[in-house]
Amino acid sequence: DIQMTQSPSSLSASVGDRVTITCRASQSISSYLNWYQQKPGKAPKLLIYAASSLQSGVPSRFSGSGSGTDFTLTISSLQPEDFATYYCQQSYTTPPTFGQGTRLEIK
Amino acid sequence: QVQLVESGGGVVQPGGSLRLSCAASGFTFSSYGMHWVRQAPGKGLEWVAFIRYDGSNKYYADSVKGRFTISRDNSKNTLYLQMNSLRAEDTAVYYCAKDRYEYSSSYAFDIWGQGTMVTVSS
């Protein structure tokens, strides 16, 4: 199985900050990388698919980049509603696998 | 609106069985592959199973292969997960999720249900 490793595991930031979360795959996955946001007690929400495509309805402050093994999720200006846990997920091969999550907390 | 609603979770003893359902609405269910994804308490996300839009192919995580069965009834817009020989490590919130692309298996999950809790305990 392809292992997905996110860094950092947790992050404290302030409203208005620019934040970057990194995801690394154990082998090349081309651009088959998706990002999800999950708030406590809620289902995950798709933010970015195919590494850099913004899902419909997701604010443009979210962006994704990368290919091969290294990927990033960037939030350009943090809003109060962005404090959540973020997961990357590879969709290159079965089984699809997720990173361990990055918990974004308010500083 | 596009919606997935799971049901059927509960408390079951080790070795027992449970069947989860996921009712879909707001989209053409029969055109999309569907998944089950689970999340153990305080843990990350784990993909469980996938079924093609027409039910012709099914794939499972190694951790559930031989014990769980995914199925669908396109006439009822409903997805199922039959879980047998349940273990303590199967305790989790189970989500159904829609594949992002029609007639495909992209393994990108664009719509999720609210989840149903399964607890395996004696």
Tell me which residue in B50, B95, B110 faces A55 most closely, judged by beta carbons. B110
Q: List the single residue in B45, B112, B113 with the smallest CB-CB distance to A87.
A: B45
CB B31 within 8 A of CB B99: no
Q: Which residue of A has its CA nearest to B65?
A: A95
Average pLDDT of the segment spanning A85-89: 98
B93's CB contacts (< 8 A; 6+ apart) are B38, B39, B41, B115, B116, B117, B118
Q: What proportion of chain B, given as a percentage, has pLDDT over 70?
A: 100
**More confident call, A99 vs B105:** A99
Tens digits of per-residue pLDDT, B61-91?
999 999 999 999 999 999 999 999 999 999 9
DSSP state letter for B89: G
Q: Report CA A106 to chain centroid distance, whole Å.
A: 17
Strand ranges in A1-107 using DSSP code E only, listed in sequence order: 4-7, 10-13, 19-25, 33-38, 45-49, 53-54, 62-67, 70-75, 85-90, 97-98, 102-106
The alpha carbon of residue A102 is apart from the nearest alpha carbon of chain B, in Å, by 10
Give pLDDT tens digits for A65-77.
Answer: 999 999 999 999 9
Contacts of B112 in chain A (CB under 8 A): 43-45
The predicted model gives A54-82 an average pLDDT of 97
Q: Is the pLDDT of residue B20 over 90?
A: yes
Mean pLDDT within B2-6: 97
CB-CB contact of A56 with B110 (8 Å)? no
Looking at residues B8-21, what average pLDDT do you find? 98
Split at pLDDT 50, 70, 90, the class of A107 is confident
Separation CA B37–CA B62 (nearest Å): 13
Q: Does the pLDDT of residue B104 top 90, yes or no? A: no
Cβ atoms of B74 and B30 within 8 Å: the answer is yes
Q: What digits encode the pLDDT tens for the residues A28-44?
A: 999 999 999 999 999 99
Q: Which of A52-61, B43-52, B101-110 bottoms out in mean pLDDT, i.e. has the lowest?
A: B101-110
